[in-house]
Structure 1
Amino acid sequence: MIYTVTLNPSIDYIVHVDDLKIGEVNRMKKDLKLPGGKGINVSRILKRNKIENIALGFLGGFTGTFISDWLNHERIQQNFTQITSDTRINIKLKAKAETEINGLGPDISTKDIGDLKEKLSNISNDDIVVLSGSAPASLPNGFYQELVQLVKENKANFVIDTTGQDLMDALVHQPVLVKPNNHELAEAYHTTFNTVTDIIPFGKKLLKAGAQNAIISMAGDGALLFTKDGVYQSNVLKRPLKNSVGAGDSMIAGFIGAYSKNKDAVNAFKWGVACGSATAFSDDLAQADFIQELLAEVVIEKIAD
């Protein structure tokens, strides 16, 4: 079974206006409310690819109920820890420029933490846990490391999709996949990249530090996959860009869903590129038929040993 963990879910309130005027009354052209949070996005794409999974994390209040009801409608299994505070709301304001206002995370109690850890203690060596996204400020520093230790104690595999020290500290525990973008990778190693070739030594460093596989997304330049067998690059699929939210999460879902079946990292990468691209070209997360359409267009080339 694949489990996703979203420590700081949200309702993403997407608002479109023609011309934003600060300090004046603005009329929205259209709006959309969606369940948000990186792990939740992974769960939704896995389900659309007919990969069963269970969503874990913290939900609370009427906003948490909105997310739970949505996932129930999509028939996604869930076992969230119910908290007292309301789940946050993030505003995605789309005008001439895109602006985001992210809500504060809820208060998480010691009891809530214990409940989540108890649910994770039931996993086994056949399971994969996807740990992704930010953590509420109320959680202790290094909380991701506590979860990683719990996963490893139960001999399960894990994916970690976060940044900074939480990512670097997790590498020694051999995650199945990490997925920083090129800017996050450069920041992690205090460097800059000017070409795709510049990235290769640092992607390999992720493997040397312990990652089993690493995907480096590069926006308009496609993505790179690093495995023990070599370095691979995807082509760039062409459609009008509609949505930057959730594309990276969709890539993780595509990869880990395929990888869980046969451990073929290159084929899983192909699925990841198709899912991530399909979401980037959609108003919400990608639908299964569009993913299949794009899958036929993905070309993976080995560029280094």
Structure 2
Amino acid sequence: MINTITLNPSLDYILKVDKFNIDSLNRSEKEQIYAGGKGINVSIVLNNLGVENTALGYVAGFTGDEIVKQVKEHGVNCDFIKLEEGLSRINVKLKSLGETEINGSGPQITSENLENLYEKLSYLKQGDYLILSGSIPKGVPDDIYENIMNRLLNKKVEFIVDATKDLLLKVLKYKPFLIKPNHHELAEMFNVELKNDKDIIIYGKKLQEMGAKNVLISMAGDGAILLPENGEPVKREVPKGILKNSVGAGDSMVAGFLAGYIKNNDIQEAFKMGIATGSASAFSEELATKEEVENLLTQI
């Protein structure tokens, strides 16, 4: 079984304005509202690819109800914890001549809420996958990912982690099956400038030395580099297409990689699937569908 965790999900409110003017009335040309959050994106894309999974996390208020409604409409199994107070956040994404984002903070998470999550996770077993991704809401200790992985270590659950800097670095000792930093995040982790692929591979290997089994480094339009647990680093280019939406592309890459790996237990084929799925989301207004992914696979 595959489970994703989104500790701080959101409703993403996307506005398109021809020419946005500060301190002036602006009217939108198009509006969209999506259930957002990295783990939720992974769950939706996995489901689109025919891989059953369950989305876990916290929701609150009427915004939380809408998040659950939308996730279920995508066919994803939900087991969110409903908080009694607060509201799940709304993230505003303004698309005009450029892109501007304003992200909400989200509800307060209590120690009792955390215990509720640990209880749900206690039923995971050997062979299950747990995907930990995204930011941590207020009230949640910054070692939450460590605590979760430590509690499940003896169950031999496979972990996939897509997080930034210290959140990621601190969990490497638990030997996650896959981590997926992008090249900017990799540079930030080690406070270095990555000038070329060789530099990226050098610092990717450092993450492996710290415990990660497979390291997948995304580089947007420049492709991705995989450092497999067994074998030499491999770089793949992305297929050709028009970038329409970068939101969720990295999450889609994670979903595609895992879907590909589960299908044939082959890391290199999983890498191809990850590239195709991430690109399919980037080339679409919404998250990747199975048909879009299959069409792009022929180009890789």
The one-letter code of the counterpart of 1:45 is V
8 Å CA contact 2:91, 2:102 repeated in 1: yes
Structure 1 residue aligned with 2:4 = 4
| Equivalent runs, 1:266-285 vs 2, <5 Å | 266-285=268-287
Q: CA deviation at 1:142?
A: 1.0
Structure 1 residue aligned with 2:123 = 122
8 Å CA contact 2:178, 2:216 repeated in 1: yes
The one-letter code of the counterpart of 2:95 is K
| Equivalent runs, 1:226-237 vs 2, <5 Å | 226-227=227-228, 228-237=230-239
The one-letter code of the counterpart of 1:253 is A
Q: CA deviation at 1:30?
A: 0.3
The one-letter code of the counterpart of 2:75 is R
**Partner SS for 1:230:** coil
**Partner SS for 2:173:** helix
Structure 1 residue aligned with 2:190 = 189
| Equivalent runs, 1:79-228 vs 2, <5 Å | 79-84=79-84, 85-227=86-228, 228=230
8 Å CA contact 2:91, 2:103 repeated in 1: yes
The one-letter code of the counterpart of 1:172 is K
8 Å CA contact 1:151, 1:158 repeated in 2: no
Residues 41/33 of structure 1: CA separation in 2 closer, same or farther (3 Å cut): same
Q: How many residues align?
A: 298
Normalised by the length of structure 2, the TM-score is 0.97
**Partner SS for 1:106:** coil
Structure 2 residue aligned with 1:30 = 30
**Partner SS for 1:284:** coil
Q: CA deviation at 1:262?
A: 3.6
Cα distance in 2, alignment partners of residues 262 and 111 from structure 1: 40
Cα distance in 2, alignment partners of residues 103 and 247 from structure 1: 21
Q: CA deviation at 1:172?
A: 1.2
Structure 1 residue aligned with 2:70 = 70
Give yes or no for the alignment of 1:39 onto 2:70. Answer: no
Q: CA deviation at 1:216?
A: 0.6
Q: CA deviation at 1:153?
A: 3.2
Q: Which moved more, 1:210-219 or 1:6-15?
A: 210-219
8 Å CA contact 1:151, 1:157 repeated in 2: no
Q: CA deviation at 1:256?
A: 1.1
**Partner SS for 1:241:** coil
8 Å CA contact 2:9, 2:88 repeated in 1: yes
The one-letter code of the counterpart of 2:244 is K
**Partner SS for 1:144:** helix
The one-letter code of the counterpart of 2:205 is K
**Partner SS for 1:25:** coil
Cα distance in 2, alignment partners of residues 145 and 127 from structure 1: 18
Give yes or no for the alignment of 1:288 onto 2:290. Answer: yes
CA RMSD of aligned residues (A): 1.0
Cα distance in 2, alignment partners of residues 207 and 141 from structure 1: 22
Cα distance in 1, alignment partners of residues 74 and 189 from structure 2: 37
Q: CA deviation at 1:183?
A: 1.1
Q: Which moved more, 1:50-59 or 1:151-160?
A: 151-160
Normalised by the length of structure 1, the TM-score is 0.96
8 Å CA contact 2:243, 2:283 repeated in 1: yes
8 Å CA contact 2:281, 2:288 repeated in 1: yes
**Partner SS for 2:22:** coil
Cα distance in 1, alignment partners of residues 128 and 259 from structure 2: 12
Q: Which moved more, 1:277-286 or 1:137-146?
A: 137-146
Structure 2 residue aligned with 1:301 = none
8 Å CA contact 2:208, 2:215 repeated in 1: yes
**Partner SS for 2:284:** coil
Post-superposition Cα deviations, 1:98-118, rounded to whole Å, max 9, x if no partner, equal 000000121111221111110
The one-letter code of the counterpart of 1:252 is V
Cα distance in 1, alignment partners of residues 263 and 293 from structure 2: 18
8 Å CA contact 1:121, 1:154 repeated in 2: no
- Segments of 5+ residues of structure 2 without an aligned counterpart are none
8 Å CA contact 2:142, 2:167 repeated in 1: no
Q: CA deviation at 1:52?
A: 0.3
Cα distance in 2, alignment partners of residues 150 and 89 from structure 1: 31
Cα distance in 1, alignment partners of residues 47 and 72 from structure 2: 12
The runs of at least 4 aligned residues of structure 1 exceeding 2 Å deviation read 260-263
